[in-house]
Amino acid sequence: MDSGMIFVFIILFGFVLPIVFIGVWTSHKKDMAKLNTKLGESEKHDLQNQVNAMKKRLEVLEAIVTDKKYQLNDAFADLDK
């Protein structure tokens, strides 16, 4: 490569790409801030309640699956097949 091409790559990778990446990142942060402000407090509360309910359901399902009786019945069902 000649020195002109090396200079172009240095400019491209040293200055242009970082500026583009910073621009994309700040734009993303602005968009996320806008979306966050659009959600009202009641919507945030509703979403948090839904997440908590899903966590409780998951805990129940984990308890069922890890229960020894469930595992034993599941093993018997596999033997019947």
Task: From first to last of the 81 residues of the chain, give the pLDDT tens digit.
Answer: 688 888 888 888 888 888 888 999 999 999 888 877 777 777 888 889 999 999 999 998 888 878 777 777 777 787 776
Residue 49 to residue 28: CA distance in whole angstroms = 27
Angle at 14 between CA 8 and CA 18, to 5 degrees: 125
Residue 39 DSSP symbol:
S
Residue 72 to residue 38: CA distance in whole angstroms = 50
The residue count for the chain? 81
What's the confidence (pLDDT) of residue 44? 81
